[in-house]
Amino acid sequence: MKRVLITGVTGQDGTYLARELLTEGVEVHGTLRPESVSLVEPGVNSHRLNLTDRDALEQLVRDLKPSEVYHLAGQTSVAASWEDPLETIQQTGLPTAVLLQAIAKYSPETRIVNASSAEIFGLAKAPQNESAAIRPVSPYGSAKALGYFLVENFRSRGLHASSCILYNHESPLRSDRFVSRKITRAVAEISQGLAEKLVLGNLEASRDWGWAPDYVRALRLVAAQPEAADYVIGTGESHTVAEFVEVAFEAVGIRDWKSYVTTDASLLRPSDGALQLADSTLANSRLGWKPTVSFTQIVAKMVQADLAELKR
């Protein structure tokens, strides 16, 4: 039986990935933090450990010798990375080094796919493809850049190690620490008379937003390739936070959305990168990967999920 290890198995991407693999009869193992209260998908063999615990992580790889590793775990908030840059490096950058070294030492046939981020590009000119300059503008982006370069280093030594440079991707499983879910949940509450205002930072910030299950599919396609490589994964469309808000309110029949939204300067990032816009030509041509859900559909799906949750 095929055996797969997913770090961060209770996150958005980890959950979708685990569900897919389990339906195919794969033996799925996943890591989560010792203090985590998140639910693990039934059927997943869970391992509670801190990814900064080198000995524990190495032992896990040595014991499992998985066919594939999907490295999704880490501190995922750009804003939080400014509050504690050191922890961000420790939780997001260093575990990648430990995993790669453990695979090289104990399970060199294992294929590893590292979930990188468009935040590594930072100031790079849009659109960004695999040749774009790595110019992060946040500790989170820098931590992800470290992981990206480490994957490149170990690939040069013969490991089947790849990075998927993922642009923003959303779903009803998205944490409300992210602006997308914050918006859809607030809109659902406002539509039901449970809230009056939605407070945001920069409404003009633009992002390339996609559908999370599409991006999980990309991870798997990359793992299945004969040769390891890095791939930019995104829609090639950019939308502002204001557009996201407008579409979310339209999903509940509210057109005068501006009367419900206020801005707070304290929510602004210390610095923001250039326009994030993916050029996924390589993924389209080599993997046959394309996004399947439109921006409007993504927002509507999230709003409807939040409405259903409120009604429950």
Q: What is the pLDDT of residues 196-215, one digit of tens each?
A: 999 999 999 999 999 999 99
- More confident of the two residues 312 and 307: 307
Domain annotation covers residue 287: no
Cβ proximity of 236 and 283 under 8 Å: no
Domain annotation covers residue 286: no
Cβ contacts of residue 145 below 8 Å, gap of 6+? 120, 134, 136
pLDDT of 78 above 90? no
Domain annotation covers residue 265: yes
pLDDT digits (tens, 9 = 90+) for 267-290: 766 656 678 999 999 999 999 999
pLDDT at 273: 64
Interval 141-146 mean pLDDT: 96
Question: Active-site residue numbers?
Answer: 117, 119, 140
CATH number at residue 50: 3.40.50.720
pLDDT at 81: 87
**Lowest-pLDDT range, 11-25, 101-115, 122-136, 271-285?**
271-285
Q: Check whether residue 180 and residue 56 sit in a common domain.
A: no
Q: Domain range for residue 242?
A: 174-208+237-274+293-311
Interval 37-52 mean pLDDT: 93
